[in-house]
Amino acid sequence: MKKVFILLVASMLAVSCFLGEGLAEKIALSDKAKEKIKEAVVLKVGSNKAYVRGEEKEIDKDNPQVKPEVKDGRTLVVLRFVAESLGATVNWDEGKREVKVVLQDKEIRLVLGQPEMLVNGEKKPLEVAAEAINGRTYLPLRAVAEALDKEVFYDQGLIVIEPLGKHWNKEADKEIISELLSLFGEDQSSEEPLFPIKEADKIGYIDKTGRCVWWPS
């Protein structure tokens, strides 16, 4: 009898997911989490989805394979997407195979395959040389952020890039981190999903709060 009741409740929640305006499309962040990332660029290793100042974006609409990667223990990110999301302009010189990034008083120049970059004319070593992956220029995460005077927080593949002075703490901010990971399809709860759901080509589940969560396609 109890099992039947649970299935009935879960079915009713599933219907509400499909009928509720926008409820089934996105996971709602708490006000605290929204405030925390209002100036940030949020990415996830292995995901082509990103959040720029709270707005969902595709890293590359033409190629879903373009996403943050880990190589030789270093996290690499797509230079153009990250730089432009932070307000910089990016130019590519095909002849020189050189990228120029400008943000306010900062000018960064780097050449594919070279283990260094120029920041306002000063040479800075790179832990991993800039390289082309899936037709896009990738650069070590911290090199990009620090050259543009930004801070980086990293946890469980979650990447947060934001202005200096915005500090994160894995323990103090664990609830917000869990919320952000859920945006990328990472279920951080220790309990099993309440009820699996499917709509057209999307699959997901109803969590313990009654929220519909769709896995990224």
Say if residue 113 is in the same domain as residue 210.
no
Domain that holds residue 183: 1-39+166-217
Strand stretches in the chain, DSSP E: 41-44, 49-52, 55-58, 69-71, 74-78, 89-93, 98-103, 106-111, 116-119, 122-125, 131-133, 136-140, 150-155, 158-163, 195-199, 202-206, 212-214
Say if residue 212 is in the same domain as residue 106.
no
Say if residue 48 is in the same domain as residue 18.
no
Say if residue 93 is in the same domain as residue 139.
yes
Say if residue 120 is in the same domain as residue 177.
no
The domain that holds 110 is classified in CATH as 3.30.457.10
Say if residue 153 is in the same domain as residue 197.
no
Q: What 3-state DSSP class applies to 34?
A: helix
Of 147, 163, 179, which residue is a domain's last? 163
Cut 0.95: pTM above it: no
Torsion sign across C-alpha atoms 166, 157, 217, 131: positive
pLDDT of residue 89: 97
Max CA separation in the chain (angstroms): 73
The CA-to-CA distance between both ends of the chain, in Å, stands at: 36
Say if residue 48 is in the same domain as residue 28.
no
Bridge partner residues of 161 (DSSP):
41, 152
Say if residue 141 is in the same domain as residue 51.
yes
pLDDT in tens, the chain (217 residues): 544 444 444 455 455 454 443 433 455 789 999 999 999 999 999 999 999 999 999 999 999 999 999 988 889 999 999 999 999 999 999 999 999 999 999 999 999 999 999 999 999 999 889 999 988 999 999 898 989 999 999 999 999 999 988 889 999 999 999 999 999 986 444 444 455 666 666 666 665 555 566 554 4
Say if residue 74 is in the same domain as residue 176.
no
Say if residue 202 is in the same domain as residue 182.
yes
pLDDT of residue 116: 95
Q: Based on the structure, what is the number of domains in the chain?
A: 2
Say if residue 133 is in the same domain as residue 28.
no
Q: How many CB atoms lie within 10 A of CB 139?
A: 28
Say if residue 58 is in the same domain as residue 86.
yes
